[in-house]
Structure 1
Amino acid sequence: MEEKWLVGVDLGGTTIKMAFISLAGDILYSWEIPTDKRENGSHIPAAIASSIHQKLSEYEVTKERLIGVGIGAPGPVNEADGSVEIGVNLGWRNFPLQEILERETSLPVTVENDANVAALGEMWKGAGKGAKNLLCVTLGTGVGGGIIVNGEIVHGANGAGGEIGHITSVPAHGAPCNCGKTGCLETIASATGIVRLAVEKLSSGQPSKLREFDVVTSKHVFDAAKQGDELANTVIEQVAYHLGLALSYIANGINPEKIVIGGGVSKAGDTLLVPLKRYFTSFAFPRVAQAAEIVPATLGNQAGVTGAAWLVKEKILPNR
């Protein structure tokens, strides 16, 4: 009998990553398509379905081989019906993603927030492998997160659990955040936040290698820090301080085995992780700090599709 496949989908603002994945979590085929945001993203489910059908045809595989589709979507997801309450980058409001995608694919579908899905991927096949209590933080344009306790994603009362990026780091006179608040961790520890801090410091007239660039990026800041640039190192210390403090708050509550740091900013490696570990250890309850290993994410762009496939295995497969 042919082995069944899981379908993992990671829906981003620019591209949609997709994969056929084995029950053991191995990626068999992966591909991506551009995100069609026309008419408030109403074409997205049909585009996903069409692409899945096209790949089945290409690989000469029948749909019977597929167990179901797991999809990670940006924004809060309603657990009851798999609708996306708001997808800012897609133009979605209370968008019935699960219902439409099931209709388009004729397959069972499960929907979860994209940061949560990435956390599940890292737990199953990545840096969090073997851990049942972990915290996953994605440092990119924004700051996303997923909290897993006893192998289950923490959703909370209305689906907003795990919003690590919106912990208030600067209680007064903080920078405005896209969420409507000010002083969120996202305004400091994201790529955008790092650049903002660097530009602020440059306005003081302090000498720095960063003055060589017309447009400063977070990578420039980390590269300059590695070369001993004092201004850049001050920025990294500030980022590590606030990130370490925020992570200590959550870790004291859930006592995780692993804290997985992913996203583009995590590519800075030890330049960020060494000061982060130092601050986290100084802020967390000693037994919590002792148990929690801070590690870089290992799945990269495959975390989302892997976690989405895990959802199919756990939620859809038992009912088939």
Structure 2
Amino acid sequence: MPQLTGGDSSLLRRINSAVTLRALRDGAVLTLTQLVGETGLSRPTVEGVIEGLIESGLVVEVDPAAAAAAVAGAAGGAPRSESVRQRGRPARHFRFRAEAGHLLGVEIGTHGARAIISDLRGRTLGAYGRPIDESTEADERLALVRGTVAELLRRGGISRDTLWAVGVGTPGVVDADGVVQLGTALPGWTGLDLANKLRRSFRCPVLVENDANLAAIGEHWKGAAVGKGDLVFVLAGLSPGAGSLIGGRLHRGFGGAAGEIGSLHLLGQESEPSQLLSSPGNRLRDPLDEAAVARVLSLAQEGDHAAMHVRDRFLARLVRDVAALVLAIDPQIVVVGGWASGLDGVVEPLREQLSRLCLRPPEVQIAALGDAAIAIGAVKLAFDHAERQLFSVEQ
């Protein structure tokens, strides 16, 4: 990762560099005069800082004609850039080099792997996924995940050396060091030091987080919960999980186990969620899997009374699980994702029951990012890490 100041060790210069870079990072093409106005720094200071940022590879000077065209295109009218208005020497224009590095988000799921690559502004440049059998052992699964990443990079013509950070989403309880403390959804996953295993494939930081937590982050960043500070994301399935943001920040809990609502049935010693969907007559094969459940849900949509009964029991459990989190957190919005989010009518039962069970019913929406929510959240995890490094003023 390039150094923020091009090697200058002065604390004041590092602060000035961070301020200037953020102005460019958040905006489009800016002139020196505009940067002076945005940062409040003197023109000589900005000129010096810009030269250091160009040297580091984080900023590039833009041709005035191209800059004027870019401004015109963004404004939807004729060029009005400083270089056009003023006489004499054209103004110098600069932009942040979002292409100076890349961020990678990876989802390791029960039935497959997905990877998304973005630039330093978080704009998606490509995605690739592949199915993986749920019975695949840990080492083979990790090899397939590495292959998924390699194929994505190959298709995009992107060097692995340009990666600044990698975010990874996985089922299970994950601690702060990226170790899966409990992971029953994947064979050999409990106790796996996933972060350390994957770091061998990269020269940049690898950050691992629970999949539902990352889906919550993804929906907050680019999905159904944009602008909502307090939210609950429900990853609906046979053993549902949830991720929560409070004040826009992820709530992981002391050991990373916050949101494991799939274990709520243990409080009352009731049937597990899978047993609710495997009663006699529901036409599920043994062992129970998501494909079998999908068939039952499809039958329910077609009006099969036995399947409708099974579906209603499942939704009732899901509603109660979500209500427990809503009562504890009081979120502004509940976003429902996972394979069960494809159910017709899942939103209305949730809204109705939450209004009955909760003191202040939240907004309820289906995930806007669909199957990509976890991988997009993983990109955001990498993005936030890169941001902290990029704008740090510590030496």
Interval containing the TM-score (normalised by the shorter chain): 0.7 to 0.9
- Cα distance in 2 for partners of 1:71, 1:269 equals 30
* Comparing 105-114 and 138-147, the one that deviates more: 138-147
Q: Pick from 173, 180, 191: which aligns with 1:84?
A: 180
Deviations 1:105-130 (A, max 9, x none): 11211110112112211111112222
Change (3 A) 1:193 1:262: farther
Q: Which residue of 2 aligns with 1:296?
A: 366
Q: Distance in 1 between matches of 2:380 and 2:357?
A: 33
- Specify the SS of the correspondent of 1:127: coil
In the alignment, which residue of structure 2 is the partner of 1:182? none
Alpha-carbon contact 1:119-1:135 (below 8 Å) kept: yes
- 1:121-147, CA deviations, whole angstroms, 9 ceiling, x for partnerless residues? 111111222212111111224212111
Q: CA deviation at 1:302?
A: 0.5
TM-fit CA distance, 1:301: 1.4
Conserved 8 A contact 1:76-1:86? yes
Letter of the structure 1 residue corresponding to residue 180 of structure 2? V
In structure 2, the CA distance between the partners of 1:61 and 1:100, relative to structure 1 (3 Å rule), is: same
Q: Are 1:283 and 2:357 an aligned pair?
A: yes
Note if contact 1:11-1:73 (Cα within 8 Å) is conserved in structure 2. yes
Q: Quick one: distance in 2 between partners of 1:73 and 1:135?
A: 18
Q: Which has the larger radius of gyration?
A: 2
Question: Secondary structure of the residue that 1:105 maps to in structure 2?
Answer: coil
Structure 1 letter corresponding to 2:235: T
Q: Does 1:160 align with 2:236?
A: no
Matched with 1:184 is none
Distance 2:152 2:304 in 1: 49
Normalised TM-score (structure 2): 0.65
Aligned equivalent of 2:277: 195
Offset of residue 267 of structure 1 = 0.8
Kept in 2, the 8 Å contact 1:135–1:146? The answer is yes
Q: Which moved more, 1:253-262 or 1:147-156?
A: 147-156
Q: What does residue 251 of structure 1 align with?
A: 326
Alignment-mate amino acid for residue 200 of structure 2: R
The two structures have a TM-score, normalised by structure 1, of: 0.78
Unaligned residue ranges in structure 1 (runs of 5+): 178-186, 203-209
1:240 and 2:337 aligned: no
Q: CA deviation at 1:35?
A: 4.5
Looking at structure 2, the residues matched to 222 and 38 of structure 1 have their Cα atoms a distance apart, in angstroms, of 24
Question: How far is 1:6 from its partner?
Answer: 1.4
Q: Does residue 311 in structure 1 map to residue 385 in structure 2? A: no
Q: 1:235-279, CA deviations, whole angstroms, 9 ceiling, x for partnerless residues?
A: 444333333233222112211111011111221132x32222211
SS at match of 2:372: helix
Q: 1:141 to 1:62 in 2, by over 3 A?
A: same
Match of residue 274, structure 1, among 340, 345, 348:
348
Partner of 1:207: none
* Residues 87 and 232 of structure 1, relative CA distance in 2, 3 Å threshold: closer
Question: CA 1:164–1:62 in 2, change beyond 3 Å: closer, same or farther?
Answer: same
Contact 1:169–1:246 (CA under 8 A) maintained in structure 2: no
Q: Is the 8 A contact 1:18 1:30 kept in 2?
A: yes
State how far apart, in whole Å, the 2-side matches of 1:38 and 1:168 are: 25
Cα RMSD for the two superposed structures: 2.9
Seq. identity, %: 28
- Shift, 1:42, TM fit: 2.8
Deviates more, 1:121-130 or 1:301-310: 121-130
Query: 1:45–1:104: 8 Å Cα contact kept in structure 2?
Result: no
Distance 1:13 1:142 in 2: 12
